[in-house]
């Protein structure tokens, strides 16, 4: 009788399935990184997302190794790969939280800038409205003196 709980001789999933999927995921991630470098965005956002993309490449690679290359009958490498994948996923979640906080900070700064511009423009509009009200007509009379509105 064969034992039920034995370690497999083969990887968790066939490499023929895993490695092409990992290659496609890595190509998409690389394309995203290249595209992101050419897109105008704040430098802090670019740095955070570049680090996230590079760590994603490592995570994809190690996940593919964990699923399709190393078998569970190699306990040390198997454990090392999966602990590293879990650690990298934790770091990626932390980077996502940092990116979110950075976006909130950038949004608040943009709102403050827009608010100051709006206040400045409102002041200029009041000055222009006052100048228009007190402007003189062709006879040398102000609009108020001439009875115009």
| 138 located within any domain | no
Domain holding 94, by residue range, is 15-107
Query: Is the pTM here over 0.85, yes or no?
Result: no
- Which are the contacts of 67, defined by CB distance < 8 A and separation ≥ 6? 11, 12, 13, 18
pLDDT at 130: 87
| 33 located within any domain | yes
State the Cα–Cα distance between residues 146 and 149, nearest whole angstrom. Answer: 9
pLDDT at 138: 59
| 131 located within any domain | no
Q: Is the pLDDT of residue 6 over 90?
A: no
- Helices 43-68 & 15-38, crossing angle to 10 degrees? 170
Q: How far is CA 1 from CA 10, 31, 58, 122, in A?
A: 21, 52, 42, 87
| 6 located within any domain | no
What counts of helices (H) and strands (E) characterise the chain? Answer: 4, 0
pLDDT tens figures, 21-49: 999 999 999 999 999 999 999 999 999 99
| 118 located within any domain | no
Phi, psi of 136, deg, nearest 5: -90, 155
């Amino acid at each position: 009788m064969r034992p039920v709980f034995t370690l497999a001789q083969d990887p968790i999933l066939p490499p023929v399935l895993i490695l092409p999927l990992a290659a496609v995921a890595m190509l998409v991630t690389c394309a995203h990184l290249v595209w992101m470098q050419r897109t105008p965005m704040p430098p802090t956002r670019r740095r955070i997302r570049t680090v996230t993309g590079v760590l994603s490449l490592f995570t994809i690679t190690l996940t593919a190794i964990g699923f399709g290359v190393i078998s569970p009958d190699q306990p040390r490498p198997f454990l090392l790969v999966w602990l590293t994948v879990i650690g990298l996923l934790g770091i990626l979640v932390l980077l996502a939280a940092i990116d979110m906080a950075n976006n909130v900070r950038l949004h608040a700064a943009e709102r403050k800038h827009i608010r100051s511009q709006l206040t400045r423009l409102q002041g200029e509009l009041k000055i222009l409205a006052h100048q228009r009200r007190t402007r003189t007509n062709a006879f040398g009379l102000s609009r108020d003196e001439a009875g115009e509105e």
